[in-house]
Amino acid sequence: MAGVQIDITGAVRLALKPLLSTAKRINVLLQIQGHVVALSGQMEELRDVKADMEADVLAHGVPPTRMLSNQARRWMEAVDSVDEQVRKLESSLARKRSGLGGSWALYKLSRRTTRMQKRARELQEKGKRFNACRVSVGTIDTVEAVPSTWTSVVGGERALSEALQHLADDSVGIVGIYGMGGVGKTTLLTRLNNEFLAAGSHGFDVVIWVTASRDASILKIQMDMIDRLGVARSVEGLERPDQGDLRAKVLFKVLSTKRFLLLLDDLWEKLDWMRVGIPFPSPKNRCKVVFTTRSRDICVAMDAQRKVKVNVLSEAEAWDLFCGKVGDDADLENPSIGKLARRLAAKCGGLPLALITVGRAMADTRTVGEWEEAVEMLSEAPEKLPGMEEEVLTLLKFSLDRLKDETARQCLLYCCLFPEDHEIPAERLVNCWVGEGLLDTPHSDGLDRARNRGLGIIRRLKAACLLEGGGGDEGFSVKLHDVVREMAIWLTGGEYDPMNTFLVDAEKGLSCLPRVHRWAEARKVSLLGNNIEDLPGELCPCAHLSTLFINLNPLQVLPGGFLVSMPSLRVLDLSGTDITELPKEIGLLGRLQHLNLSGTRIESLPGEMATLLTLRQLDLRETYELSRVPRGAIATLTALQALNLRESGYCTEMESRQVGDEPLLDMVSLVELEAVSLCRLEELGLDILGSSASLERLMNSKRLSRCTRFLRLRAPDLSANHLRTAFEKLVNLRELHIGPCPALEELRLDIAGRQLSRLDVLELNGLGEARLVIPAEGGDGNIDGGLLPPPPWPVFLERLRSLCIIQCHGFQDLTWVKHLPCLESMQLAGCHGLEELILMDGGGGTGSVEELILTDVGGRTGSEAAGNGGCDITPLRKLKFMSLIGLPALRSISRELLLFPSLEQLHVCQCPRLTRLAMGPCSVKEMKEIVGESEWWSGLEWDDSSMNDTLLPSFRPSTEL
């Protein structure tokens, strides 16, 4: 061992060599990474310089078009080349981090980085030594003609005039034009563009037309604007999809130097102004944007200061357009053909596109039989009529597809189950949607929340111009446009989607079941409003049927075998039929959720209803002959959420045969409604007619009083104390009818306690000489006649939409109604003491009402409006319908001019002393109809003599009704 020498140093060096080599490579790699970071910074500066050069050239190139010099172009190409190499280098470096690689690979990477840094420095220096050179100049037209297939704005003169008026207003920068598909929005926008072309001088530096369309991208919109502005596409990278910021920068610089008018046609989505590169229109730059869309929601999202709705044509306008497209070959002078032609035109619902398409399809039709077939075809299979599917139905389907919500789409299709031109009660429609399960969510199937979702869907469908408001009060009813209904029938007819087949035979005068062979495939069947008296005792299996409307038929017997074939039925509407009983087979409908028996002659409910464990809504309104409801038929309905017994004979039965007075023969009583296991009950509708004791029993039940949504009080011993207690405890009441109660001395409405804060409908009928008393805030004193204390006023009946007062002779005025913020309908009849509707001075000269300052639709205060020939202000801003009938003492609506900005209908009858309407010009903007006696109309006194001429076209003598 002594002779052996061990080289420890060499051994250690040999052992550590791999580690030293790795450390060296790591050090080199870190150095390379530092160089790459520096190189990236250089390239970022080069990219900014290049972008600024491009934007500067383009910004100064409009209206002339400027091109880049060859020197500048080569420099930009070199920047792009180095930029691409740097990206590859960064990618290569990322791979080296994980594997490190050999020394030679790292050496090459280091040399490559050094060369690229040197090249970047050279490009930076070179970029400072030259400027872009101008080589060509071009010009653009201020306005370019836009071709149109329609030569005129058919029936759209009002909308055109309104749009032009907004364009002339410097305070308005963005105007949204909306309406259903095919109504003529594009034609109107085209007319705007071409009118500017014809005018020559219009104050804009450039008018830009861009078609957005449903499939348009930001890239397309930007490039269309760039082309219109005459900006050369030869700038490197301008067309690349990833260069949106560059395009936006270019457009913003160009447009910022001009006063522009941008016309955007067919907008489907919200457009981000900055992302596109459009300076926001303002009074300072005096630029304008006008766009068309099918959705009012898009107008809101786009911050449109003014919204112009393009409505369908009137009957006369529609007929003129239709005749023009049919031409002279069709013998419309023939009485038979002319009658059928008018029916066919009416089915187009005033929609210009449909009128043109159908008119052209009928241009060569000469026989009565062909016209008859066309009328039937448009009702039953509209897609079969030439041009309808391609040009009309598909166009409307795009609106349906863009809802982005399958529930909303199915809810709209459901509406076609109702008859053509039918005003559908919104409450009833939503109840059917609930029964179908369309409004439930995984988190909640509560009735109130489902109803709210349903109302939200109605609002969205109306905003998308797929659903219309009904002719009555806003929100109470809706209507499906004829052509939208035809689209829905096309989509649910079975050919388009066999898995979603509807059989719609509503109001067709049928006396027996039609198309029975197709019931096996049907999901929904509507036989509403026919003459069907008998149903078959058995039917083919209808395994998929979920909705059956057989209401409003003179049906007397519902066969049990008929129901057996429908195990999946969820919605069954038998309302308005003459049936007197339900078959025991009703208990086999294990999935039934909505059962409507309202308005039937049913006398009792079968005990087999106890097996309907999924039933959520039971409607027994106006079942005057109903006298027996077995306890077992109700007690087990654990899923029941809504029980409506308004105007039902059973309410009287419950009152007259309460427990303790007389045995109920195993029938459920009002008291027992709380005892039974209706733990999910949310909505109860009742009548209390016989004695106030029943009202006391209801008030003693905390759960039932909170569930009561609809209540009719007609007890002869009803007192003010009973009502005060009811108003305090019925916190969720939606609809209240009081009277006749001739012995009632006063009706107290507490404005401070937020009583009846959720009430939608209030009817006071036959209260005799009862006074209306509103306690002053804090309880110090009373205010008779409905006069209010000095402002500020607390929230008062904030949801009330409909008010009806009949034969209440103790009311001398109704000044308090002017503080109902949501009132839409007001009907007053037979109130002999009513002298003036609204006292503007509070009735005591205190001036309290005069202190209320609101602004009219133009944003002016009351004094400003009056100073400019306007109207004094009143908060009845949502009132649409007012009826004044049999008011012999009524002298005036008010002594001051009132603003009724939403009033559409005014009915006056038997009001001989009413000689002044107190309406100024602001009150006639939406007026559609004034009905009254001719003598009354001719005797009216006007504060503004022009009002008579303005309103005369809306007046209809009551003798014509």
At 892-936, the pLDDT tens digits run: 888 877 778 889 999 999 999 999 888 777 777 788 899 999 999
| Residue listed under structure tokens 């000044």 | 815
| Residue listed under structure tokens 């023939």 | 334
Angle between helix 244-256 and 8-59 (nearest 10): 30
The first and second tokens of residue 724, run together, are 């005060």
How far is 547 from 437, CA to CA, in rounded Å? 11
Pick the CATH number of 408-492 from 1.20.910.10, 1.10.10.10, 3.30.565.10, 3.40.50.450: 1.10.10.10
Indicate the pTM of the whole model.
0.76
| 498-653+668-679 classified as CATH 1.20.58.1880 | no
Query: Residue 16: in which H helix or E strand, if any?
Result: helix 8-59
The radius of gyration of the chain from alpha carbons, rounded to an integer in Å, stands at 37
How far is 936 from 907, CA to CA, in rounded Å? 12
In terms of C-beta density within 10 A (0-12 exposed, 13-18 middle, 19 or more buried), how is residue 71 classed? middle
Q: How far is CA 553 from CA 513, 535, 898, in A?
A: 12, 11, 47
Residue ranges of the chain whose pLDDT lies below 50: 1-6, 8-9, 11-24, 26, 28, 60-67, 100, 131-138, 658-665, 778-787, 842-873
Q: pLDDT tens digits, residue range 22-66?
A: 444 545 455 666 677 777 777 788 777 777 766 665 554 433 334
Helix (H, G, I), strand (E, B) or coil at 286: coil
Report CA torsion sign: 120, 126, 132, 135: negative
Helix (H, G, I), strand (E, B) or coil at 793: coil
The first and second tokens of residue 586, run together, are 């009703």
Tell me what pLDDT residue 872 has.
39
Count of C-beta atoms within a 10 Å radius of residue 159: 21
Q: What is the DSSP letter of 786?
A: T
Q: What is the largest CA-CA distance in the chain?
A: 144
Q: What is the DSSP letter of 312?
A: P
Q: Which residues contact 702 (CB under 8 A, 6 or more apart)?
A: none
Strand ranges in 155-296 using DSSP code E only, listed in sequence order: 174-178, 206-211, 260-267, 288-293
How far is 123 from 10, CA to CA, in rounded Å? 51
The first and second tokens of residue 704, run together, are 């039932």
The first and second tokens of residue 45, run together, are 């500066």
Strand ranges in 294-423 using DSSP code E only, listed in sequence order: 306-309
Q: Which residues contact 812 (CB under 8 A, 6 or more apart)?
A: 785, 833, 834, 835, 836
> Do the Cβ atoms of 620 and 598 come closer than 8 Å?
yes
The first and second tokens of residue 923, run together, are 């009150």
| 157-309 classified as CATH 3.30.70.2740 | no
For the chain, the domains span 21-131, 157-309, 313-402, 408-492, 498-653+668-679
